């Protein structure tokens, strides 16, 4: 067999760090097909952070000398500076960010760079990088969600006296405060943040030291690595550690729920800004026009948030499907996790940010809202509850009020048009004080239990949120 001379640690003509056992170079189609560099280069800072901790752990285990460690740390600092400045010389053989960084390190500091990967595999390395990155992004997203909550609360405070029709089945149901409606989304976002925090606790576990799948041959102090990287715990099973992507799935599930909430808010903004509702005006800077119809002002931002929701759900289902048939432990399929996770994080982050800004500039059409609560028999339930206070069982009160509404519909009248005499033709329990209950203010004020839309309640909740989110 003819032997070619190749630099130590590198295979024949391929430049691959793993090429020792190969005789042929990687097909160019395969190089392109298997490369994850375009996606995972965003992990570079975390990859280097992990490598620094790994080098220090190897030094502590006396696998690396102090000089070797120092050389590696210096080299890694140079690599990071190159990457930070966009001056890192990528080559097509760099299969992923981990290989690119190790290759460059060795170019810079010589063969001692080849000692960094002692006792480590890209399998535990990528598991670590993913957790470091996700931990950071989950934290950032929690802050972003808080800013969106603050925008909602700002509008709630500014319009805490404005009533609107509350809907069920998109039919006018009962009056509520506009602020109460906005605060509903603040509650949703708070649960979303709770789910992100919850995902964070299970993400925050340190997998390095699991090797390729079986563990490490070196006496590495994994707790020390974890401490350097700020992880409270280490993974307890090496097979699980390199094949587990639960934290990515959990994050995608939490992200899907956030998008679902943002999508519902967006749908309402689209509806409310339509000519049919006219409840709000979106700021011009957040709308677009039509290339043909000069009068148009389109709510593209909430539409796109609504539209992008499908992408995020898709990533969740995509990753679950990728994972479902995999035998333990690492399989290259797992490389598909990053595109899903990164795109979902980007999409949700951008959606949260743009809605937070849009909402700050939302103009509320007080006149249209005031008109809308005056029609649609929003106060029928109040009338039924009035009869209950006069001793009628609710079911009968409901039936009587139903007949009143039918009569109004047929006579094209509203409840407010009725006199006490009119009411008494339906039930002699109606007395002079009946008309006083058929007001929006009264209807709001009576919803005074915890969670109700009474102005006092809503004002108190606004104050609670402002204090909690400060």
Is residue 450 within 8 Å of 444, Cβ to Cβ?
A: no
332 near ligand ARG, judged by CB under 6 A: yes
Phi, psi angles (nearest 5°) of residue 119:
70, 15
* Interface stretch with ligand ARG, choices 83-91, 181-189, 326-334, 455-463 (CB under 6 A): 326-334
Is residue 65 within 8 Å of 237, Cβ to Cβ?
A: no
Q: Which is nearer to ligand ARG, 326 or 354 (CB)?
A: 326
Q: Which is nearer to ligand ARG, 332 or 470 (CB)?
A: 332
- CB of 219 vs ligand ARG, minimal distance in Å: 24
Q: Which is nearer to ligand ARG, 281 or 336 (CB)?
A: 336
Residue 214-243 contact track with ligand ARG, rule CB under 6 A, x = bound:
------------------------------
Burial of 156 (0-12, 13-18, 19+ CB in 10 A): buried
Is residue 134 within 8 Å of 203, Cβ to Cβ?
A: yes
Contacts of 269 (CB under 8 A, 6+ apart): 280, 282, 299, 302, 358, 362
Cα–Cα distances in angstroms (integers) from residue 298 to residues 265, 301, 302, in the given order: 16, 9, 10
47 near ligand ARG, judged by CB under 6 A: no
Residue 139-178 contact track with ligand ARG, rule CB under 6 A, x = bound:
----------------------------------------
Q: Which is nearer to ligand ARG, 114 or 442 (CB)?
A: 114
182 near ligand ARG, judged by CB under 6 A: no
Q: Which is nearer to ligand ARG, 210 or 335 (CB)?
A: 335
Site for ligand ARG in 114-143 (CB under 6 A): 122-123, 126
The span from the CA of 315 to the CA of 39, in Å, is 15
The span from the CA of 435 to the CA of 262, in Å, is 40
- CB of 125 vs ligand ARG, minimal distance in Å: 7
- CB of 326 vs ligand ARG, minimal distance in Å: 12
Cα–Cα distances in angstroms (integers) from residue 289 to residues 270, 276, 292, in the given order: 15, 19, 9
Establish whether 180 is a catalytic residue: no
Which residue of 93, 335, 372, 453 would you call a contact of ligand ARG, by CB under 6 A? 335
Catalytic residue among 65, 111, 274, 290: 290
Is residue 340 within 8 Å of 248, Cβ to Cβ?
A: yes
323 near ligand ARG, judged by CB under 6 A: no
- CB of 256 vs ligand ARG, minimal distance in Å: 22
Q: Which is nearer to ligand ARG, 16 or 122 (CB)?
A: 122
- CB of 335 vs ligand ARG, minimal distance in Å: 4
Q: Which is nearer to ligand ARG, 336 or 414 (CB)?
A: 336
Site for ligand ARG in 355-414 (CB under 6 A): none
- CB of 34 vs ligand ARG, minimal distance in Å: 8
Establish whether 290 is a catalytic residue: yes
* Interface stretch with ligand ARG, choices 144-152, 181-189, 327-335, 425-433 (CB under 6 A): 327-335
Which DSSP string do the residues of 201-232 spell out, in sequence order? Answer: HHH-EE-TT-TTTT--SS---HHHHHHHHT-S
Site for ligand ARG in 83-112 (CB under 6 A): 96
SS3 of residue 321 by DSSP: helix
Is residue 352 within 8 Å of 257, Cβ to Cβ?
A: no
Which residue's entry shows tokens 């006792």?
119
- CB of 319 vs ligand ARG, minimal distance in Å: 13
Closest CA to 405 of 432, 375, 369, 431: 375
Which residue's entry shows tokens 């298997």?
34
Burial of 243 (0-12, 13-18, 19+ CB in 10 A): buried
Binding positions for ligand ARG, rule: CB under 6 A = 36, 40, 96, 122-123, 126, 330, 332, 334-335
Q: Which residues are tagged catalytic? A: 169, 290
């Amino acid at each position: 067999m003819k032997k070619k001379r190749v630099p130590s640690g590198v295979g024949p003509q391929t430049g691959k760090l793993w090429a020792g056992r190969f005789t042929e170079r990687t097909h160019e189609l395969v190089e392109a097909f298997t490369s994850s560099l375009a996606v995972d280069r965003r992990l570079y800072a975390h990859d280097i952070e992990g490598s620094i901790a790994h080098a220090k752990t190897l030094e502590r285990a006396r696998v690396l000398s102090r000089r070797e460690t120092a050389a590696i740390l210096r080299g890694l600092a140079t690599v990071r500076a190159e990457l930070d400045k966009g001056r890192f010389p990528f080559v097509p053989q760099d299969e992923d960010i981990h290989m690119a960084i190790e290759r460059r390190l060795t170019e810079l500091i010589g063969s001692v760079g080849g000692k960094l990967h002692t006792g480590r595999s890209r399998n535990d390395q990528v598991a670590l990088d993913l957790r470091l990155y996700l931990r950071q992004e989950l934290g950032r997203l929690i802050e972003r969600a808080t800013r969106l909550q603050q925008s909602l609360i700002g509008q709630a405070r500014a319009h805490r006296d404005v009533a609107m029709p509350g809907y069920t089945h998109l039919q006018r149901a009962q009056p509520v405060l506009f602020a109460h409606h906005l605060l509903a989304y603040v509650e949703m976002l708070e649960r979303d943040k709770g789910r992100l925090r919850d995902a964070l606790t299970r993400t925050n576990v340190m997998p390095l030291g699991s090797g390729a799948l079986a563990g490490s041959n070196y006496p590495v102090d994994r707790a020390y690595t974890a401490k350097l990287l700020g992880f409270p715990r280490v993974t307890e099973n090496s097979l699980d550690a390199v094949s587990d992507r639960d934290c990515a799935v959990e994050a995608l599930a939490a992200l899907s729920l956030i998008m679902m909430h943002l999508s519902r808010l967006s749908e309402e903004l689209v509806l409310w800004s339509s000519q049919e509702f006219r409840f709000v005006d979106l700021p011009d800077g957040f709308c677009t026009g039509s290339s043909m119809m000069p009068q148009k002002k389109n709510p593209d931002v909430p539409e796109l948030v609504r539209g992008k929701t499908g992408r995020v759900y898709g990533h969740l289902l995509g990753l679950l499907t990728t994972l479902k048939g995999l035998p333990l432990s690492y399989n290259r399929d797992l490389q598909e996790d990053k595109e899903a996770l990164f795109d979902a994080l980007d999409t949700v982050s951008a959606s949260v940010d743009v809605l937070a800004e849009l909402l700050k500039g939302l103009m509320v059409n007080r006149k249209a809202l005031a008109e809308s609560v005056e029609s649609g028999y929003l106060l029928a339930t109040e009338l039924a509850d009035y009869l209950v206070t006069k001793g009628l069982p609710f079911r009968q009160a409901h039936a009587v009020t139903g007949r009143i509404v039918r009569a109004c519909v047929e006579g094209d009248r509203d409840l407010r048009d009725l006199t006490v005499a009119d009411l008494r033709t339906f039930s002699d329990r109606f007395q002079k004080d009946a008309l006083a209950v058929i007001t929006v203010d009264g209807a709001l004020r009576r919803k005074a239990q915890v969670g109700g839309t009474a102005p006092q309640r809503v004002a108190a909740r606004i104050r609670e949120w402002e204090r909690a989110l400060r």
